[in-house]
Amino acid sequence: MDSFISKIRNLDAYPKINEDFYSRTLSGGVITVASSIIMTLLFISELRLYLHAVTATKLVVDTSRGETLRINFDITFPSLACSILSVDAMDISGEQHLDIRHDIIKKRIDALGNVIETRKEGIGAPTIDRPLQRHGGRLEHNETYCGSCYGAEGSDDHCCNTCEDVREAYRKKGWALTNPDEIDQCKREGFLEKVKLEEGEGCNMYGFLEVNKVAGNFHFAPGKSFQQSNVHVHDLLTFQKDSYNISHKINRLTYGEYFPGVVNPLDGVTWTQETPHGMYQYFIKVVPTVYTDVSGHTIQSNQFSVTEHFKGADVGRFQSIPGVFFFYDLSPIKVTFTEQHVSFLHFLTNVCAIVGGVFTVSGILDSFIYHGQKAIKKKMELGKFS
């Protein structure tokens, strides 16, 4: 038994020295204090990393299919009235959403940016005072009102009871409404009077669009849009104006939900128009992003980069539509952010490395200084130091 214990004792890698043989020096004390401070600072830094989550980033191919893309926006047009401003969305699959109104709020604002009125719809409801019937006569007390669509009826029983109904019927036919005063519904509702009343006002539009997850565009432009010979056009003659100022400020534009660390490059961007006509274009590259926090909650969202370009009215053969256009395309690469804590074993390993590394380096430094001092002192005693 004694021999076994003796063999174990011989394996001791940390032999002890009697305290009588210790030699303590000033340089050793300074190095000990300095190394203790360094070890403490490094330990605190490592402890902070252990207590806080770290984010791991990974790039993968986006294999998702059949999903939709939510676009949240809040844009102010200081020189375009709400009554003439509309938003359309379309994509490369051929799907179109024209003059979108659901999930969108319009705020009329004055020249100072103060809110005048908040509403969901465009021109207000009609006040019926013996309106013109579809058959040509005036509405009698015992009749049901059915207004004429002025040749744009979709069926025999199609009625256009408001100015907006007539404009919508014209849009579906691909016709432009050149003079609203010739339309009984528009004249009765005071369509042009309301448009003129809002001259000099601005409009703040905010809400969201739900579109297919394919390349496409959405745009804000004056006038009601329609297809004419497979070309997307806007009915601008209705408003009887020569030019439109599309100056704008993007208060917020996001593709998907917010997640920690996301940067939306167009938030707070302002552009002021200096020429009479033109189209302002934003070309956006959308990057699908998945964010997973430490609790395992996953957020499916997107990031994007953007470039911008102003297109004048007389570029090429066709005159460009005045408006603000957002053309977006999707990246085939998905970014995943995963929050995770450092494991305790990893933390313990780093702490041991800090303590052992600082202790070893300080020991080498102390030994170098101690033996250097001894060598210099010995040479001085022998008179060989010069």
Over the stretch 296-311, which tens digit does the pLDDT of each residue have? 899 999 999 999 998 8
Residue that has been written with the tokens 């699959």 in this structure: 93
Q: Look at 182 and 38; give whichever has higher pLDDT.
A: 38
What is the SS3 assignment for 137? Answer: coil
Place of tokens 């494991």: 343
pLDDT in tens, 28-37: 888 888 988 9
Each domain of the chain, given as residue ranges in start order, spans 25-53+341-375, 60-120+203-340
Phi-psi region of 297 (alpha: psi -120 to 50; beta: other; left: phi over 0): beta
Q: Is the pLDDT of residue 317 over 50?
A: no
- The pLDDT assigned to 368 comes to 85
Q: Cα-atom radius of gyration of the chain, to the nearest Å? A: 38
Assigned token pair, 159:
């009625």
User: pTM of the predicted model, to two decimals?
Assistant: 0.68
Q: What percentage of the chain exceeds 90 in pLDDT?
A: 28
pLDDT number for residue 352: 92
Name the residue among 68, 74, 88, 52 with its Cα closest to residue 325: 88
Say if residues 217 and 92 touch (Cβ distance below 8 Å): no
User: Within 10 A of 150 (CB to CB), how many other CB atoms are there?
Assistant: 17
* Per-residue pLDDT, 327: 96
pLDDT tens sequence across 353-386: 998 899 888 888 888 887 887 787 777 777 665 5
What's the maximum distance between 2 C-alpha atoms anywhere in the chain? 133
pLDDT beyond 50 at 233? yes
